Amino acid sequence: MDAITTTLDAVCLASEMILESGGETYRAEETVERMCQGLHVPRVDVLALPTGLMLTLTTEDGSNVSRLVRVRDRSTNLERIDQCNSISRKVAAGEMSAREALERLREIRRPQKEHRLLLIGASALSAGSFTVMLGGTWADFIVSFFCGMVVQLVMPPLSRMRVPTLLSSLLAGALTTLMALVGTLAVQAVHVEPVISGAIMPLLPGLATTNAMRDTMRGDLVSGGARIIEAILGVMMLAAGIGLMLSMWGGIGA
């Protein structure tokens, strides 16, 4: 009984972490199946959704153990997906026991020191470079650089305050547009189009869209559909934020 509980703990944690880090649901399901195969569980049934996970393991004596895990906080962390993936592969190959896997997974899950400055710098640099990539000038680069910086300064506190993600995309869109428009007031040479387009690129739900397509194509219609709606709503809120700020600015200007 104890062995099966450890197996259940390890399998659930791996799969839960993949869902929390923005992984595809088919990957979460495959991880469970692969790990159970390596740990000699005769039968496993698993259903992963973007917002939760349920699974039942059948032991050799025919009894069932089930668990339901609710996934509430979702963000993108590709490194975690990669780490969970390599641990599950080791378990599947029989190189790692359930207890070892559980310990390793708990280690990974422990909140790591966030390099906030690095993230702010990355956001600023990517916004600025996207602007240049889309044909912006160096003046546009500087304005867009600050847009990216401010967005990354504002977003993490908002998510800690439990502001819904969709609302914070709206705010991010509005904030970016406002900063770009203020930038044009300050420096005449700044072009609004490349600045706003470049600065919103990192905010678009790219991972959600690709994962939505991959899930749908695998036949996971519920997860795929849910993710498509998530992506569409994200884009719409961002667009609404831009539109809101543009029309407010126009109202003041006129």
Partner 1 sequence: MSWWVQLIACFVAAASFSVLLHQPRSSILVSSLIAVAGYSVFLLLNQNTTAYFLASLLIGILCESCARLLKRTATLFITGGIIPLVPGVGLYNTMRHVVEGSYHEAVTVGVNTILGLCAIALAITTSSVIFSVLRPKQRKKGTA
The yes or no reply on residue 186 touching partner 1 (CB under 8 A) is no
The yes or no reply on residue 246 touching partner 1 (CB under 8 A) is yes
∠ Cα 7 39 58 (to 5°): 65
Q: Which of 23, 38, 50, 234 binds partner 1 (CB under 8 A)?
A: 23
The yes or no reply on residue 243 touching partner 1 (CB under 8 A) is yes
162: left (phi over 0), alpha (psi -120 to 50) or beta: left
Helices (H), the chain: 2-20, 25-38, 78-92, 98-109, 116-133, 138-160, 165-186, 192-200, 206-217, 221-253
Name which of residues 157 to 176 contact partner 1 (CB under 8 A): none
Instruction: Report in angstroms how near the CB of residue 242 gets to partner 1 at its nearest.
Output: 5
Name which of residues 194 to 213 contact partner 1 (CB under 8 A): 194, 196-198, 200-202, 204, 206-207, 209-213
Whether the Cβ atoms of residue 51 and residue 70 lie closer than 8 Å to each other: yes
Whether the Cβ atoms of residue 85 and residue 69 lie closer than 8 Å to each other: no
Binding part of the chain for partner 1, among 43-51, 52-60, 75-83, 99-107 by CB under 8 A, reads 75-83
| Alpha-carbon distance values, 235 to 79, 90, 132, 186 (Å) | 25, 38, 22, 29
Instruction: Report in angstroms how near the CB of residue 139 gets to partner 1 at its nearest.
Output: 12
For partner 1, the binding residues (CB under 8 A) are 23-24, 27, 76-82, 85, 118-119, 121-123, 125-126, 128-137, 152, 193-194, 196-198, 200-202, 204, 206-207, 209-214, 217, 235, 238-239, 242-243, 246-247, 250
